[in-house]
């Protein structure tokens, strides 16, 4: 698979500046494909329930945990590598009166700062595509889960049709991904770490429609708002639009996709 030389510092730059604001503008606070419905489907399939201790890796603005605490009654813990996002997440958690139920930490998701067998579930939504050491993340998730605990996540992936090196490089460069794993690649990483796979769903079929929705919002509804975020740079706006159209084309061809996976320790 094609890998780019992007690191945590590149991700920190994205989500501390205009790019992060743009993604929130078009995707909402959850900043992942499918929003509320996608989160509900993942939580239901993972069997999350009241009282569980859930760790969200790459927790961003904390919206995933706020969703889980409010709708499933879990006890939430977040870990993210971008200081701006952790600070903002804490503000939003406090504003919703959830500070006693959600704790956020700044740290490395490949070196999780909690003890062995602490959590009932590890959670992630469309974020591990930014992680260089996905194998380390999954091994660490296994370590901090109790026996019988679940790892449940969605992510952007290289589709079954496969990307050429140039296609992968173009998408990864635009998105600031070090690389995208494949669904089968994730399944292997999980099995190698000691997990038993419960489900592995290919969500590629409607991925192009979601990208099309974001393009439509930017060009028909949120143009003014988006331009304001990027300093009214029309050339940059056009370039970004072109890259999103390219991603939509790749998704239609089954080369760029998304998956939902649940596994048990």
Q: 228-258, pLDDT tens digit by residue?
A: 999 999 999 999 999 999 999 999 999 999 9
Domain positions in the chain:
8-264
Whole-number pLDDT of residue 130: 95
CATH 3.10.580.10 fits 8-264, yes or no: no
Q: Mean pLDDT score of the chain, rounded to an integer?
A: 95
pLDDT digits (tens, 9 = 90+) for 24-64: 999 999 999 999 999 999 999 999 999 999 999 999 999 99
**CA dihedral over 31, 182, 107, 12, signed as positive or negative:** negative
Pull the structure tokens for residue 189: 């990483």
Q: What share of the chain is helix, strand, coil (3-state, %, to 5)?
A: 50, 20, 30
Whole-number pLDDT of residue 8: 67
pLDDT of residue 5 exceeding 70: no
- When pLDDT is averaged across residues 95-121 and rounded to a whole number, the result is 97
DSSP structure class, residue 114: S
Beta partners for residue 79, in sequence order: 57, 105
Count the neighbouring beta carbons within 10 Å of the beta carbon of residue 62: 27
Q: Quote the percentage of the chain above a pLDDT of 90.
A: 92
- When pLDDT is averaged across residues 87-113 and rounded to a whole number, the result is 97
**CA dihedral over 165, 169, 175, 177, signed as positive or negative:** positive
Whole-number pLDDT of residue 7: 67
Q: If you search the block for the tokens 């579930």, which residue do you land on? A: 121
Q: In what order do the strands lie in the sheet with 256-264?
A: 102-106, 75-80, 53-57, 119-125, 145-158, 256-264, 196-202
Quote the pTM value.
0.94
pLDDT digits (tens, 9 = 90+) for 112-152: 999 999 999 999 999 999 999 999 999 999 999 999 999 99
DSSP structure class, residue 17: S
């Amino acid at each position: 698979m094609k890998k780019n030389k992007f690191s945590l510092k590149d991700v920190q730059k994205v989500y501390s500046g205009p790019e992060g604001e743009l993604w929130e503008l078009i995707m909402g606070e959850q900043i992942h494909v499918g929003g509320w419905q996608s989160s509900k489907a993942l939580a239901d399939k993972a069997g999350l329930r009241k009282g569980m201790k859930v760790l969200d890796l790459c927790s961003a603005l904390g919206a995933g945990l706020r969703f889980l605490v409010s709708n499933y009654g879990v006890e939430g813990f977040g870990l993210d590598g971008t200081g701006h996002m952790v600070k903002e997440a804490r503000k939003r958690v406090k504003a919703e009166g959830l500070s006693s139920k959600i704790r956020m930490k700044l740290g490395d998701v490949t070196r999780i700062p909690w003890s062995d067998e602490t959590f009932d579930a590890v959670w992630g939504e469309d974020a591990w595509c930014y992680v260089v050491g996905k194998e380390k993340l999954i091994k660490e998730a296994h370590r901090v889960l109790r026996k019988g605990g679940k790892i449940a996540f969605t992510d952007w992936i290289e589709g079954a049709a496969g990307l050429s090196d140039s296609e992968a490089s173009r998408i990864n460069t635009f998105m600031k991904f070090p690389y995208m794993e494949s669904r089968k690649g994730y399944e292997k990483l999980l099995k190698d770490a000691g997990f038993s796979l419960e489900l592995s769903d290919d969500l590629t079929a409607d991925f192009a429609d979601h990208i099309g929705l974001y393009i439509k919002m930017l060009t028909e509804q949120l143009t003014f708002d988006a331009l304001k975020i990027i300093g009214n740079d029309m050339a940059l706006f056009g370039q970004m639009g072109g890259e999103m159209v390219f991603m939509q084309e790749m998704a239609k061809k089954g080369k760029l996709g998304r998956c939902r996976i649940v596994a048990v320790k």
